[in-house]
Structure 1
């Protein structure tokens, strides 16, 4: 299936995921009709847009969100549901590229996204099955050295709450023998990602915010002193525009299109396993991801299903059969699940930046953007939403640090970014298979 696009006519529904099937009740918001004026217009009702909007609404700003489909329709409502601290690029990589000061700055905020999520859930009583703790796993001795190096590196920046687990200790958390050990982070966690989105949207609306759904943006005048967003049904003129479409912004803003590449990842959810069987898989109910370049990730849902994800497709296309792609990996981790019924299988896109570092910036004087979380968007988007809101409110201290980080284009531009990235992924996947 080709890269998903918004329907220009009619209603665009959520993908056929477990999350959509188990979502909390939510209203269908009206499309934008006519011309309106607001202080701040945000494009995209995913985590970045909702985080920015909610922080600004709490400060008293008049904010409207324009969403092409429904709240949480993109990656924010269909991801693995894992709260994993850090960026795709390591602190060591960031130090090597951008210097010690930038690494110190990034280290100061790598756990902030999870803190924001927990605060939002508590303050606004969001029902999203939030659970604490995530585990990184290694399959080889080389992986274990990498995990120990990560623990030591983070400890050198004052982050000392991560603990190494040997094979026997890991067995207390994961009922599988495929791993050599792991690293546990109690400040990570997992939740129902779409219900988090829906709860944040409701919180935003409770403060007077407005969300227009089913309103794909056709054009955004990012250079105007008062930016204008145009949809099929109307326009929004604003003092400040914030672009948070990420992997689904498409061709609307050409200046941003070349900065990121859509990459799809796949997930599936088993039938309910029952308490005993589920607890044997993940006795402490932590979420898990391994540290291979093309990784597996999994967790339990509130109704005791296993959600298992993995794989990447550069360019954002979907595999013909998600279950066929993921089942062998799941059954390798958990042979006891051989032949288990899969109730849901789905795919979704995230935005990959070439440097694997998210990007914040401005287009023109009054248009901001955030994108390129590179698979770490659950926490990063919440942090960047807060930083965007701070900048719009007048404190650009943290925004300026990220805005000054140079971005790198994909080699070969838009035409060759997919094949070049595939070559790179094959190389690192080979290293994973060889255990080096």
Structure 2
């Protein structure tokens, strides 16, 4: 928040009316760019969905560097100490390692470009946290962006069902027919974003916009249910309950146990069921599908591939859907073999921690865990003692906890342009600021 003491001085340049107006406008632009993207409403009936993954979207390649330049220039002109305030060594170290791993990947030129775009995206999130002048202004812009997302999603379902609802005409995953996805490419992406909107709505309510907040919570909840995104649906009550416990805990060690014990248990139970043994047997007793809808094949493949490149990994996007992987065991005239679906159709590990090891090696995974688990947990303990804006602290805490657990079943961490990853970064950086500077008295809610 720009209103955090230590970030803005009494004679700061942003005292001008123009800058005061530009701050919320720029924040809204950032939120809309990440939440809606430049290519909403995806056609899933195209044959290219089953082919090798192609390069990035040209609009993204132009817009995100431009947005970065505008944000960096604005931040340097109005609040140059913001960069020093948000810098955390584990994140800086991870960014450096990310660039190194992509430079030594199989395609250094492409890898470096992808790495730079990821660093740009992470830096945009860090700068965006400093744009709002108060928690209330932050809530206002979140509300506008949330309504834009919800309106587009519901309009899509009503008037563009072929582009907003999974159908039997989809090239992949026809079994999802009937599940809502709005303008997102997959129902799980839509479900994850609806959870972000639910938590945003709760924060908006606590910030004083009661009717708007509850309307967002209600509309996002309905869409979440119709998306049938089981992971996201289950994690909403779990996250709210766990966040309440962590928020009330006074011991740092107890907070760590509350967060880490179920997180480790979830990953052991899920990834551990990838092979026959006692873990899979126990999971089968509790769940009807011990493969977690085929994820165990992906997890097993990811671990096997990580073992081949344990130090530097494969770089961003890993080995997924490359020509070398999809067709490495086939003769030129040999037909496709659906038994090798992971090599031919898999796009990610469906586990952010495995994906990090696959992309950045074991050292990269270790740096990422320190950056996204240890640092926020430490910062929350300090922020709670400083009694910073309770609503804002709870909002960041809920987003952080949700992302940690959904990362065990989906690839969201270090996922360029992913709105959930972007909000997780904002929460982590925001918590870091709240741990260092108290919110100005007149902005507390």
TM-score range with shorter-chain normalisation?
under 0.3
Structure richer in helix, relative to its length:
2
Structure richer in strand, relative to its length:
1
TM-score by length of 1: 0.26
TM-score by length of 2: 0.25
